[in-house]
């Protein structure tokens, strides 16, 4: 039997409607790879027809591995099951409502085998209904190569808070630091991010595919405290790696800069327009102030979104912050 190079893992719960499209997007590209790539679906005790759906797929694709937890163990522990049971050198979590774009699996696999990076980041975009019709243009002022290699810090500057995005990151499991007690990150909603930071700090080669490889369903997440997770929990995780694993402080600084520039303003506007979706209700301004009250970028990027009238905040976001984000993206 050939050695498994890549484990693709789909953790899921009550998402049969989306899961079928996710599985289809992968399996139609798999005929040449079943001996090199494994596909795992880990069902967190869904109450819908997820089990029947996956078993139907197994009839057509017998090599699909299916795990069903006896009870709902939570998002982090379902991810942990995937990580512990995946046998491939490389590990890839794919959200159950995300899609792998046509013909991209071959490109991804070829890069993993040829280049052997510590981490491979896949560029993607979000969609509402039709991922093909909604694919945005990739026009940039300065042309970018389809594939780019980075140093460790260069990767952090380019990817920054997207290190938390499971579908976008493929990691080399063999670089995991097994001296870390990863249980401390369970229930933080950032279990996978802790693994990725550990692997990143042990890695030397980092690659990003600039062309679109994945499409993520927009406004389809929730069930956790978004602002708490990405401010308090995320900073606690970074502080651990700074104090215990000698991660340079500048990594934390650049990640927080980008969270404040583009991530938090976007979700604060959604919150103010009552369009945040299924996330747990919380007081974002209080949470963010507790973490960033001594950060100048908080007052330049986020504070106006909190304090300005909604219409003015929308204008500030569109014409100031989005422009800064686009300029930043041209030069990293």
pLDDT (tens digit per residue) in 64-82:
999 999 999 999 999 999 9
pLDDT in tens, 5-61: 999 999 999 999 999 999 999 999 999 999 999 999 999 999 999 999 999 999 999
Alpha-carbon distances, residue 307 vs 119, 280, 311, 312, 314 (angstroms): 39, 22, 11, 10, 12
46 is written with which tokens?
A: 């869904």
Residues 6+ apart with CB under 8 A from 315: none
pLDDT in tens, 86-123: 999 999 999 999 999 999 999 999 999 999 999 999 99
176 is written with which tokens?
A: 């995991």
pTM of the shown model: 0.94
Query: Which uninterrupted H or E stretch holds 18?
Result: helix 16-27
216 is written with which tokens?
A: 């993520």
Q: Are strands 119-127 and 169-172 parallel, antiparallel or unpaired?
A: antiparallel
| 143 vs 197: CA distance, rounded Å | 30
Contact between 264 and 205 under an 8 Å Cβ cutoff? The reply is no
pLDDT at position 1, please? 44
For residue 137, pLDDT over 90 is answered with no
Place of tokens 């300029």: 327
pLDDT in tens, 258-291: 999 999 999 999 999 999 888 999 999 999 999 9
Cα pseudo-dihedral 104, 125, 157, 199, rounded to 10: -50
Residues 6+ apart with CB under 8 A from 112: 5, 6, 90, 120, 170
Cα pseudo-dihedral 284, 44, 112, 136, rounded to 10: -50
Q: Are strands 90-93 and 147-150 parallel, antiparallel or unpaired?
A: unpaired
pLDDT at position 142, please? 54
| 20 vs 23: CA distance, rounded Å | 5
Query: Which uninterrupted H or E stretch holds 72?
Result: none
Domains of the chain, each with CATH number or no CATH: 6-220 (3.90.550.10), 241-331 (no CATH)
């Amino acid at each position: 039997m050939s050695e498994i190079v890549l484990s693709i893992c789909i953790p899921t719960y009550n998402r049969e409607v989306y899961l079928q499209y996710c599985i289809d997007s992968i399996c139609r590209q798999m005929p040449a790879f079943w001996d090199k790539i494994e596909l795992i679906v880990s069902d967190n005790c869904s109450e819908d027809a997820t089990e029947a759906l996956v078993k139907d797929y197994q009839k057509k694709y017998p090599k699909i591995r299916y795990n069903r937890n006896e009870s709902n163990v939570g998002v982090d522990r379902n991810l942990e099951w995937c990580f512990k049971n995946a046998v491939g050198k490389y590990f890839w979590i794919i959200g159950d409502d995300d899609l792998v774009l046509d013909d991209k699996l071959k490109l991804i696999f070829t890069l993993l085998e040829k280049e052997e990076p510590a981490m491979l980041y896949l560029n993607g975009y979000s969609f509402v209904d039709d991922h093909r019709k909604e694919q945005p243009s990739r026009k940039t002022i300065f042309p970018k190569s389809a594939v780019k290699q980075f140093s460790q810090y260069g990767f952090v500057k380019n990817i920054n808070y997207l290190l938390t995005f499971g579908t976008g990151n493929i990691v080399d499991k063999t670089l995991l630091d097994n001296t870390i007690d990863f249980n401390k990150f369970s229930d933080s909603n950032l279990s996978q991010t802790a693994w990725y930071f550990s692997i990143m700090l042990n890695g030397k080669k980092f690659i990003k595919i600039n062309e679109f490889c994945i499409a993520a369903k927009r406004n389809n997440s929730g069930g956790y405290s978004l602002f708490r997770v990405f401010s308090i929990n995320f900073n606690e995780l970074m502080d651990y790696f700074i104090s215990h694993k000698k991660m340079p402080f500048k990594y934390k600084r650049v990640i927080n800069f980008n969270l404040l520039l583009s991530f938090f303003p976007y979700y604060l506007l959604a919150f103010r327009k009552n369009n945040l979706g299924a996330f747990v209700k919380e007081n974002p301004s209080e949470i963010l102030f507790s973490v960033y009250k001594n950060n100048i970028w908080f007052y330049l990027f986020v504070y106006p979104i909190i304090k300005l009238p909604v219409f003015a905040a929308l204008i500030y976001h569109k014409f100031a912050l989005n422009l800064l984000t686009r300029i930043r993206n041209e030069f990293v």
